[in-house]
Amino acid sequence: MSPPEIQLTGLHKAFGDNEVLRGIDLEVARGEVVCVIGPSGSGKSTLLRCVNLLEQPTRGIVVVRGVELTDPDVDIDAARRRIGMVFQQFNLFPHLTVTENLTLPQRRVLRRDKRAAERVAHENLIRVGLQDKAHARPASLSGGQQQRVAIARALAMDPEVMLFDEPTSALDPELVGDVLAVMRMLADDGMTMMVVTHEMTFASEVADRVVFMDGGVVVEEGTPAQVIGAPGHARTRHFLSRLLDPARADVEEDTGNPAG
């Protein structure tokens, strides 16, 4: 059996007196899609940001593709090149074209020449269905198109692992589907992915495993059928009832009978 692509051991993260992560142990296998769900403030985004050390863990060990990122002597810049990340906001340079947004990090970080960077940019714009927007500027694109450009930019860096932090939360509902379709394509291609999301249909259909977090700990994990279809923990059931039927959950809370 091959070693896990991502291995988190005893992961803690505190901001002052606020302990956001309280000892997370989690592994992600090569080619696996793991969706992390849970209420706001449960530590999901902090967990994701600890995977590539955008947040420095208070204690614990992070290993990605055999490299311990929490080792003080690690070349963190080299390690991060193997990890693509897509945020809630698109973070595109507004004064650059779509192609320039994709080529700039390749040329600065990977030292690709202009022609090679443009070739890789074009290939990845085709992957996300935006080759016709190569010379457009971000302001002329919809939010969904901008997020697909952000995914293409991450892919242009040849990552071996992709992290998605609520990639559709800033989008209008009608724009969500195109972004999720690109993520489905990546999953079908065998990309190792950790996805923080509230999109339960996506998690149900695409994830190999679903992790439910609350209060900085992993409460429950398993297949989508187990965690979303038949959750075993009351906290998971309560979260899903509020997410899938918020009106019902609010009524039950008002009557003193918490959902789930």
Determine the pLDDT at residue 246: 67
Global pTM? 0.91
Whether 215 maps to a domain, the answer reads no
Within-domain flag for 13? no
**Mutual orientation of helices 143-155 and 98-105 as an angle, nearest 10°?**
30
Please check whether residue 230 lies inside any domain of the structure: no
Q: What gap in Å lies between CA 42 and CA 46, rounded to an integer?
A: 9
Residue 127 φ/ψ, nearest 5 degrees: -60, -35
SS3 160: coil
| Domain extent at residue 131 | 92-159
Does residue 18 form part of some domain? no
Domain for residue 121, yes or no?
yes
Q: What is the pLDDT of residue 2?
A: 80
Residue from 83, 102, 82, 80 nearest 91 by CA: 102
Q: Could you identify the residue written with the tokens 């489905």? A: 184
Whether 107 is covered by a domain: the verdict is yes
Burial class (CB in 10 A: 0-12, 13-18, 19+), 50: buried
- Residue 170 confidence (pLDDT): 85
Q: Round to whole Å and give the CA distance between 58 and 13.
A: 5
Number of domains in the chain: 1
231-250 CB burial, b ≥16 within 10 A, e <16: beeebbbbbbbbeeeeeebe
| 3-class DSSP state of 66 | coil
85 inside domain: no
Q: Is 145 inside any structural domain?
A: yes
**Mean pLDDT by groups of 10 residues along the chain of 260 residues:** 91 95 97 96 95 95 95 92 92 96 96 97 96 97 95 96 93 90 95 95 95 97 96 94 70 43
6 in Cβ contact with 194 (< 8 Å): yes
